[in-house]
Amino acid sequence: MSPGSPTALHGWGRTSPSVASVRTPTGAVEVAEAVRGAGDRGVLARGLGRSYGDPAQNAGGTVLDMTRHRGVRRLDVDAAVVEVEAGTSLDELLRVLLGVGLTLPVQPGTRQVSVGGAVAADVHGKNHHVAGSFGAHVRWLDLLTADGEVQRLRPDGPDPELFWGTVGGMGLTGVVLRAELSVRRVETSSVVVTSERHGDLGEVMDALTRLDHEAEYSVAWFDSISRGRGSGRGVVLSGHDARLEELPEADRGAPYAVPPPRSVAVPLVPPASLVNRLSGRAFNELWFRRAPRHPTTGVEHAFGFFQPLDGVASWNRLYGPRGLAQYQLAVPHDAAAVVPAVVAAVAASGHVSCLNVLKRFGPGTPSPLSFPLPGWTLALDLPVAAGLAGLLDRLDAMVLEAGGRVYLAKDSRTPAHHLAAMYPDLPRFAALRRRVDPEGRFASDLARRLGLLTPTPAREAYP
């Protein structure tokens, strides 16, 4: 393995870059060598860099670029399981799976995520209310721990605590080398999608609640700018995997067709964010009006339904040199009133978000850092601008009061003293870390910023 070179890294939000020594191992021996030789600032694995904030950065330390550690090692079509290297992207994996009538049981909003990253962030999709998160479908994973040894972990194996501490553990328990996943059979690579337009947020939330019992997939986009009677108006999409007879007749001869990778990209970072009050208002109006007034149902490719933004590479550049902050919260069912309160606060703030997503969550996993909880999750993409920190601090207060939390894979600015209240199992995670990594070899900017390894006691969270 070549010696590391100092490289500035940032997350997808392009905020808070830091410099680390980046090394590119090609196998477990080289990963072990880097872990054993980690200096005072530690070491961290990185996939495709799609976390929004700083979870995949390690200022002054070592970052292992795992993207050469890729490929499908074994695919058992009859048993519907696949063994895959951790640096493989979900895009690469899905192209293999769909070709033989299989698919991933959980798909996040982008396929440009590595399998190791999907485990570390325990990503979720539009079917969390019925399928849970990515970690729920991991049969086993190989983890290279701080002693340089590889352990095969299973949810029902001899060390389930380390398995679940790795799922959603943000890369802080070791380096995931490979995993075996349960996958799912499909008759086609398409989804039957129903689109409903609703005039306010209450109608949107009622529709999503109804769809818990009716739809395999459900998600809503909402308008974050309109106020008054139309506050939170939106479009609810629901669907199910298309059966062969549901495809247009002309497409039935190639039911597993997959579009080729696209090369359309935003070429440059503009001098200022192109997402502003004027463009945001126009986008929100257009996106709402383009949905038909009455519910309609059609068939579209799964890639377009699950990952609509993957058609444009580097779309994060549209937010200009200051970047964007994605704020994703989860609150329990009995705190549903937080959702309209957050939407109203954002609309009144003058800050603009165009990519506004509302979904329902089912139960989380046994992971001490599990983000999902039974209730609601809401995500906003906000350009970094003066006053944004104050707005997000106010949203934090609402989430805390409701017993909710923010998603660590998206976070770039939450104060450390909020974490113990948001993640009450944080001491359990810290104890696990002390057991498997007593010298603190694995570290990240996010871990240091939030005190994930030495958590603030909950009683000190509210001075």
pLDDT value at position 43? 97
In a domain, 460, yes or no: no
- Shared domain check, 401 and 373: yes
- Shared domain check, 254 and 216: yes
Bridge partners for 8 per DSSP:
19
In a domain, 278, yes or no: yes
- Which structure tokens are listed for 389? 């920190």
Collapsing DSSP states into helix, strand and coil, what is residue 122?
coil
Q: How far apart are CA 192 and CA 211, in angstroms?
A: 14
Instruction: Indicate the burial class of 139 (C-beta count within 10 angstroms; 0-12, 13-18, 19 or more).
Output: middle
Among residues 158, 185, 212, the one where a domain terminates is 185
Q: What is the CATH number of the domain that holds 382?
A: 3.30.70.2520
- Which parts of 223-295 are beta strand (E)? 234-241
In a domain, 163, yes or no: yes
Collapsing DSSP states into helix, strand and coil, what is residue 288?
helix
Q: How far apart are CA 62 and CA 11, in angstroms?
A: 16
**Cβ atoms within 10 Å of 456's Cβ, excluding its own:** 17
- Which structure tokens are listed for 280? 């945001």
Bridge partners for 99 per DSSP:
none
- Shared domain check, 244 and 164: no
Q: Tell me, what amino acid is at 94? A: L
pLDDT in 10s for each residue of the chain, 463 residues: 666 789 999 999 999 899 999 999 989 999 999 999 999 999 999 999 999 999 999 999 999 999 999 999 999 999 999 999 999 999 999 999 999 999 999 999 999 999 999 999 999 999 999 999 999 999 999 999 999 999 999 999 999 999 999 999 999 999 999 999 999 999 999 999 999 999 999 999 999 999 999 999 999 999 998 888 889 999 999 999 999 999 999 999 999 999 988 768 888 889 889 988 888 888 888 888 888 888 999 999 999 999 999 988 899 999 999 999 999 999 999 999 999 999 999 999 999 999 999 999 999 999 999 999 999 999 999 999 999 999 999 999 999 999 999 999 999 999 999 999 999 999 999 999 999 999 999 999 999 999 987 755 544 443 3
**Cβ atoms within 10 Å of 201's Cβ, excluding its own:** 22
pLDDT value at position 460? 45
pLDDT value at position 67? 95
Q: What is the CATH number of the domain that holds 96?
A: 3.30.465.10
- Which parts of 54-183 are beta strand (E)? 62-65, 72-76, 81-85, 102-103, 138-144, 150-153, 175-182
> Apex CA 384: angle with CA 379 and CA 388, to 5°?
75
In a domain, 459, yes or no: no
The angle, 0 to 180 degrees and rounded to 10, between the axes of the packed helices 338-349 and 388-401 is: 170
pLDDT value at position 263? 67
- Shared domain check, 205 and 101: no
Q: How far apart are CA 413 and CA 397, in angstroms?
A: 14
**Cβ atoms within 10 Å of 266's Cβ, excluding its own:** 15
- Shared domain check, 259 and 373: yes
In a domain, 349, yes or no: yes
* CB 45, CB 118: distance < 8 Å: no
- Shared domain check, 133 and 195: no
Collapsing DSSP states into helix, strand and coil, what is residue 144?
strand
| Torsion angle of the four alpha carbons 219, 418, 16, 277, in this order, in degrees rounded to the nearest 10 | 50
pTM of the model: 0.94
- Shared domain check, 144 and 212: no
Among residues 185, 205, 220, the one where a domain terminates is 185
- Shared domain check, 245 and 367: yes
- Shared domain check, 203 and 170: no
- Shared domain check, 298 and 200: yes
Q: How far apart are CA 23 and CA 14, in angstroms?
A: 21
- Shared domain check, 195 and 172: no
- Which structure tokens are listed for 157? 């194996």
pLDDT value at position 459? 42
- Which structure tokens are listed for 412? 């770039």
In a domain, 55, yes or no: no
**Cβ atoms within 10 Å of 39's Cβ, excluding its own:** 11
Collapsing DSSP states into helix, strand and coil, what is residue 392?
helix
| String of DSSP letters for 162-205 | HHHHHTTSTT-S-EEEEEEEE-EE-S-SEEEEEEEEESSHHHHH
Among residues 164, 185, 206, the one where a domain terminates is 185
pLDDT value at position 2? 63
- Which structure tokens are listed for 111? 């396929």
In a domain, 66, yes or no: no
Q: How far apart are CA 403 and CA 424, in angstroms?
A: 10
* CB 11, CB 18: distance < 8 Å: no
Collapsing DSSP states into helix, strand and coil, what is residue 71?
coil
* Distance (Å) of CA 65 to CA 134, 244, 299, 359, 448: 22, 40, 38, 32, 20
Domain count, the chain: 2
pLDDT value at position 1? 60
- Shared domain check, 244 and 144: no
In a domain, 11, yes or no: no
Domain range enclosing 132: 72-185
